Amino acid sequence: MAMLRLISRPVILSSLLSPRASSSSIFSPYMPYSLSSSSSSISRAFLKPLAVSLAAVPRLSEPPGSASYGDLDPYLSCSMPDKQLRIAVLLSGGVDSSVALRLLHAAGHSCTAFYLKIWFQEDFENFWSECPWEEDLKYAKAVCEQVNVPLEVVHLTEEYWQNVVSYIIEEYRNGRTPNPDVLCNTRIKFGAFMDAICSMEYDFIASGHYAKVVHSSNHIENASELKLSEDMVKDQTYFLSHLSQAQLKRLIFPLGCISKDEVRKLAARFDLPNKDRKDSQGICFLGKIKFSEFVARHIGEMEGVILEAETGDFLGNHRGFWFYTIGQRQGLRLPGGPWYVVEKDTKYNVVFVSRNYFSVDKRRRLFRVGSLKWLMGAPPTAISQLRCKVRHGPGFYNCSLSLELGENGQEDVAVVQLPEDDQGLAAGQFTAFYQDRTCIGSGVILESWNDQGFPLCQKALEIARMEDKSKLGKPVKIKVKPEGIIG
C-alpha cells in the first residue's frame, strides 16, 4: 500500500523520509521539526493533521505488474525511458498528472508523488459539504496505491497567499487582469515547492503539463529548451513561459509527446480510479467558488457608473471597476448590445463601454510588454521573426518586437507589433514569445498600446471626473442599434 505522509510548510525534512522514523512520529499532529539552512525564510514547521476519508475511492488489491503495461514505448518518448531517475511527481488528483505518474513509473523511474495543498479560502468551507481539496487527495492516493508509489502532502497555503493571491488582488485593485496560472507555475509549483525539495536529490520534477522540455546531453552546463507539445489545443507552454532557465533544467513533462485523447485512453488502459473525472476548469486556486464571489470577498464592492465611450451617456451602474476586463462583453446587462468594456478609470471608478469595439479606427496591433523573462537568460537576437500568444490557446500571431528602456531606465520593455488587430489585449495578462516551436520567454502586457487607450469623448471624460454622480439622474434609454451596423 502506498504510504501517505504530511509535510508542513514548504520544508520537507529528511527525518520524515528516514527509515528510522516511526509511523507514529510521522502522523503525530503539530510535532515541531528543525528547519534546514536552505529554508531560512520559514520560521518553524509543524506537522499538520489530515482529516480525510479514503474509503470511498476504488483501489486495486494488488499493484499491477510490468505485464499490465504492455507495449508503452510509443508513449514514453518524453519520459526519458533510457535512464534510471529519481523523480518528484506533482499529483493533483486529475487524469493528466495521474497518467504522467504512470508513464514515468512504466519507464522504470523511482517516483515519489507530492500533493500541494494550496487551498486558502477556509472561510468559504461552509458553502460545501467537504473541503475542496479532499476529493482531489482521495484520488491522488488511490492512483499511487495502484503502483505502490509514496505520496506526500505539502502545505503551501501561506506561500500561495503571499506570492500569488495577494498579487492578484492588488492587480485587480489597480485595474489590471493578472494570470494566476502563470504565477502559480513560476512561484509555487516550480518555485516554493522546488526550493523545498532541493536538498532531497531528485533528478527531476514532473507534472501533467502539456509541454516538452528538451535537455542537452549535459543539461547541467547547457541550456534546456521549452517546446510546444504534440497537442496544440491543450498545449500549456503559455502558462510555463515565465519560468527561469534554472527551473526549466529540473523539469520533465511526460505528456508533451502525446495528445489529450491518448491520455484519456491510457487512463482507461491503466484503469485509473479517476479515469472518468472531468478536467478542471477556471482559475487554479478557486475550486468551486465563482470568481466574482472571490473578488467581492477580498476587494469588496463600490458602486460606480457605466458610460458610453463615444457619447458620455450614463447607461447604468456597476459594482466596482475591478470586476471588469478590457474586451469583456458578458455580465454588463445592457440592452441593445453587444456592448464591450473598452476602458476603466480606476481613480473615479468608471467603466466605459462601446458597441464599436471592432471598428477600423480602434486598432489593437501595437502594445508594450514589461517584466520580461527570457528562458535562455537573454533576449533573442532575431527579434523581427517571432511568434507570440497573448492568451492560452492554439492561436499564434506572427510578430516583431523592439526593446526599449522602461520608465525606471533599467528594465527593458518590448514594443510588440502584430500583423492584425487583437481586441482582447488586457493589461496584466502575459504575452509568450516563440521561435518556431520553441518558447523563448514572456512578459506582462502594459496599460497602453498605440500610445493611447480607446478614444473617449470629452463629455465622457468630464462626467467621469464628477465628484457627485448622483446628479446624473437616471440612466438614459439605450437606443437599439440599426440593423446592418456591425460593432
**Neighbouring-strand partners of residue 432:** 389, 442
Is 184 part of the annotated catalytic residue set? yes
CA 285 to the chain's CA centroid? 9
Q: CA-to-CA distance for 260 and 251, rounded, in angstroms? A: 20
**Could you identify the residue written with the cell 494488488?**
62
Question: Which cell is 92 given?
Answer: 493533483
Contacts of 79 (CB under 8 A, 6+ apart): 103, 104, 106, 107, 109, 252, 254
Is 284 part of the annotated catalytic residue set? yes
Which residue, among 426, 429, 430, 431, has the nearest Cα to 388 in the 3D structure? 431
**Could you identify the residue written with the cell 482529516?**
51
Q: CA-to-CA distance for 191 and 189, rounded, in angstroms? A: 6
CA 420 to the chain's CA centroid? 27
DSSP sequence for 240-288 = HTT--HHHHTTEE-GGGGS-HHHHHHHHHHTT-TTTTPPPP-S-TTTTT
> Which listed residue (284, 388, 399, 439) is catalytic?
284
Find out whether 208 and 94 touch, Cβ atoms under 8 Å: yes
> Which listed residue (184, 257, 388, 439) is catalytic?
184
Which residue, among 94, 365, 388, has the nearest Cα to 241 in the 3D structure? 388
Q: CA-to-CA distance for 365 and 421, rounded, in angstroms? A: 5
What are the Cα distances from residue 309, in Å, to 221, 313, 357, 367? Answer: 55, 8, 10, 21
**Could you identify the residue written with the cell 460593432?**
487
Question: Which cell is 164 given?
Answer: 500569488
Alpha-carbon torsion, ordered 353, 356, 359, 362, to 10 deg:
-20
At 373, is the secondary structure helix, strand, or coil? strand
At 212, is the secondary structure helix, strand, or coil? strand
Going by the DSSP 8-state scheme, the letter that residue 169 receives in this structure is H
Q: CA-to-CA distance for 437 and 228, rounded, in angstroms? A: 5
What are the Cα distances from residue 143, in Å, to 63, 78, 96, 150, 255? Answer: 10, 21, 12, 10, 17
In SS3 terms, 31-92 reads as: CEECCCHHHCCCCCEECCCCCCCCCCCCCCCCCCCHHHHCCCHHHCCCCCCCCCCEEEEECC
Q: Which sequence positions are flagged as catalytic? A: 184, 284
